Structure 1
Amino acid sequence: MTTSSNQVSSIPNLGKQFLAQELTYAKLIPALRKAFASDMVAPRRHVHTLSENPASTLLLMPVWQTHGTTGVKLVTVAPENNEAPSVHAIFILFDTTTGTPLAMMDGEELTLRRTAATSALASAYTSRADSEHLLMVGTGKLIPYLATAHCQVRPIKVITVWGRSQEKAEQSLHAILEQRELPKNIQLSVATNLSKAAAQADIVSCATTSSQAIVMGHMVKAGTHLDLVGGFTPNMREVDDTLMAKAQVFVDTYAGALTEAGDITQALANTCLERSSIVAELAELVSGEHRGRSDEQQITLFKSVGTAIEDLCGANLAWEAYQTSMVRSI
């Protein structure tokens, strides 16, 4: 079997700027709604330890459509790499029928945007329609993306940012202000007291790498929606057992959440969360099989660990935009 030496090198490389321009939330959120109701196949991601000292991990996330495209995201995680970003990612898109490589894409920008859009899609079914106050918990790269995406599906008027470091929280606040898709006239502030901020919020979105609960059950009011994005391993937690016990829980996929999400797996093991309390995955929400929130007083919780379905959805949008731009340039 032979392969042209320049086949891969000649395919377009769609970078961060192109993806940021083309993967708007106005396009991405409805595209994800269709993707989760489609026939995309996404096996559980492969996780390989490359080195224990220093720590280094390789993740492979394959996904395909029988009639359409195939993709794989390659991610390296090196937490001890202090001289460069600790996470690197690329996405490669193929034609499923012919196997031909079509494009390479910046995996980080693709991941940030599809993750935020997925949380917003879930919120459209699970948060109160009149939600106006959004609390962001964390100070990482996802925060401005999540904050902006949530504003696309709910009439957010106030965004509060809380982090362990007030300086980093202020930096996150400024990063939110720089988002071109952020609606005008949003009030932004940094919270110094998490408990008070959570008690005032309609939506609490967490994107941290914490191994211990940060948001506690006694902090949130009736009707609050929790969006948990950060904890993606069984030893990570963002909320406590008390909150898990009182929440109606939704997940992006059962396969991922029931095995990888510490907020889910630990709560199930502690018996404070019953399996029956995990009422729907995103595919069931978008198909209408489950209506989502049914009571204005419910505390709802969406747990996301990420699925390659989201990656392929965003990659298809970007590829279509690239093809259109090439036609226009002729």
Structure 2
Amino acid sequence: MTTARFLTSDDVSGLASPREYVETVRDGYRQRGEGAPAEPRTKLPNADPPGMLTGYSAVLPDTGAMGGYMYAAGFGAEDAWFVTPLFDAESGEPLALLDGASMNPFKTGAAGAVGVDALARPDATSVALIGAGSQARGQLRATVTVRDVETVDVYSPTKESRESFAAEMNERLDAAVAAVASSSAAVENADIVITATSASDPVFDGDLLADGAHVTAMGQYHPEKRELDTTAIERSKYVPDLRARVMQDAGSFIHAVEEGVVTEDHVHAELGDIVAGEAPGRETPDEITVFDSGGTGIETVAAAKLLYDRAVEEDLGSEINFAPASEALTGE
């Protein structure tokens, strides 16, 4: 019998800062670039009631942990439930089981910020943010830890949402955050463009991207989700979180391939390859870069281990017991 720690969403909320999430997720991607195993998400759809069961996993040897995410969305409750199992990477024993909801925007935002740090110009100061929900908050709060952001233009189709988001972020951040009336107004001349939506159609015109711009797109985790148009893909140095997921669920890239605009060879490198120094990131001030962040076990395991360690320090959570297979598989 071994003991693991169950951590509720309230237990882990506030245990780490956006900067700390970014640092631990960056190290996770460094390990991936050096060969750490990670698999893209698998999705099991259900027709009646409509819903989706999704999971993905990673092993981070230097972090000393492995595990992933499993979540159900839709179904009868019409909600989402996030579960994160965490195992010791040496012994294989379970360390923790986390309610993964509250960490989701932070670990996803951290992955986006690692992409910004690897690919955006060092002197980037202006951000265009498309989306005004919890994921947009996570992306922006993480991004300001890796660049000296001075201005943020945020667009959401709902006027009240973008204005309340701007007001909140103006209180929280040093940057000047303004709500704008269109995605075009946000994107034009922006150094960094972040899309945090669930859109099925492109949310801005790729011709509007200024030379030298960087784009982080985090809402592209299904073949039919297309935050970016074919022009943005074609103009960019394209970097996904995992190469194996590109033709599986990176909707904008899949569409660009189907339209004949690019081929699969347009993938420059995985983010981990760049973080580990195995592939170059930005090579000229004028090139346009895209980080396609569909979600992986890399940021999930890295963030979960960070939270687990903090919870142990503060004696948070409750104990649960697991029986090893050598004891439990008795055949009786």
TM-score normalised by the chain length of structure 1: 0.87
Structure 1 residue 102 and structure 2 residue 98: aligned?
no
Q: Whole-Å Cα distance in 1 between the matches of residues 171 and 7 of structure 2? A: 22
CA offset at residue 45 of structure 1? Answer: 2.5
Query: 2:48, 2:302 → 1: CA distance?
Result: 36
Matched residue, 2:239: 250
Quote how far apart the aligned CAs of 1:143 are: 0.7
Q: Where does the alignment leave 5 or more consecutive residues of structure 1 unmatched? A: none
Mapped to 2, the partners of 1:176 and 1:42 lie a distance apart of: 34
Question: SS at 2:40's partner residue?
Answer: coil
Residue 324 of structure 1 aligns with which residue?
313
Q: Does 1:42 align with 2:38?
A: yes
Does the 8 Å contact 1:23/1:113 carry over to 2? Answer: no
The one-letter amino acid of 1:74's match is M
State the shift of 1:223 in Å. 1.2
- Contact 2:230/2:253 (CA < 8 Å) preserved in 1? no
Pairwise CA distance, 1:178: 6.1
* Higher deviation after alignment, 215-224 or 269-278: 269-278
Q: Equivalent residue for 1:60?
A: 55
Give the partner amino acid of 1:119: G
Answer whether contact 1:126 1:225 (CA < 8 A) is retained.
yes
Equivalenced residues, count: 312
Distance of 2:235 and 2:61 partners within structure 1: 40
The answer for the alignment partner of 1:129 in structure 2 is: 122
1:236 matched to 2:225: yes
Q: Is the 8 A contact 1:135 1:205 kept in 2?
A: yes
2:327 match:
none
Aligned to 1:13: 6
Give how far 1:135 is off.
1.1
Percent identity between the two aligned chains: 23
1:294 is displaced (CA, Å) by 1.1
Secondary structure (helix, strand or coil) at the match of 2:102 reads helix
Relative CO higher for 1 or 2, CA cutoff 8 Å, sep ≥ 6? 2
Matched, 1:150 2:143: yes
Give the deviation of 1:212 after TM superposition.
Answer: 0.9
C-alpha separation between the residues in 2 aligned to 1:13 and 1:121? 29
Task: Give the Cα separation in 2 of the matches to 1:116 and 1:19.
Answer: 16
Superposed, which structure 2 residues align to 1:291-306 within 5 Å?
291-306=280-295
AA paired with 1:23?
A
Partner in structure 2 of residue 72 of structure 1 = 68
Indicate yes or no: 2:157 matched with 1:164. yes
2:323 is aligned to none
Match of 1:272 among 234, 255, 261: 261
Aligned-partner Cα distance in 2 for 1:257–1:87: 24
Structure 2 unmatched ranges of 5 or more = 317-332
Structure-2 change in CA distance of 1:95 and 1:197 (3 Å): closer
CA distance in structure 2 between the aligned counterparts of 1:130 and 1:17, rounded to whole angstroms: 37
CA distance in 1, matches of 2:121, 2:280: 13
SS at match of 1:30: helix
Using the alignment, how far apart are the partners of 2:309 and 2:37 within structure 1?
20
1:63-87 Cα distance to aligned partner (Å, 9 max, x none): 33568333232201107856xxx22
Letter in 2 for 1:63: A
Q: 1:24 aligns with which of 1, 4, 17?
A: 17
For 1:66 and 1:159, the matched residues in 2 are separated by 37
Q: Distance in 1 between matches of 2:121 and 2:76?
A: 41
Q: Is the 8 A contact 1:207 1:231 kept in 2?
A: no
